[in-house]
Amino acid sequence: MDLQNWLKSSSLPQGELGYELDGSGVIIDLAWQKGLPDGVGRPVALLLNETAETYQAVSQAGYDCFVDVQSLKQYVERD
């Protein structure tokens, strides 16, 4: 099952694809600015095949960052 279908079947928000971090030019592949699920915890970012610099910028902006779908799913299922 792909991520979008999994989110939908889990009644979770789909996230924002290609979200630009605060006008900085840093693009988050898939972002949940209000946490995941909405209103729970810190903002969440899925960063696929991104540079260490991008990861660092997003992390320093207060996001919990994940570099693969499986880790993101484990985070959501844990909480």
The pair of structure tokens assigned to 12 is: 């979770």
User: SS3 of 37, please?
Assistant: coil
Beta strands (DSSP E) in the chain are 16-20, 27-32, 44-46, 64-66
- Mean pLDDT, to the nearest integer, of 48-56? 96
Structural domain count of the chain? 1
Q: Does the pLDDT value for residue 21 go beyond 90?
A: yes
Which residues form the domain of 18?
A: 3-78
Statement: the pTM of the whole predicted model exceeds 0.75: yes
Instruction: Identify the band that residue 79 occupies on the pLDDT scale cut at 50, 70 and 90.
Output: low
Q: Of 39, 26, 36, which is closest to residue 66 (Cα–Cα)? A: 36
Do residues 66 and 72 touch, judged by C-beta distance below 8 A?
A: yes
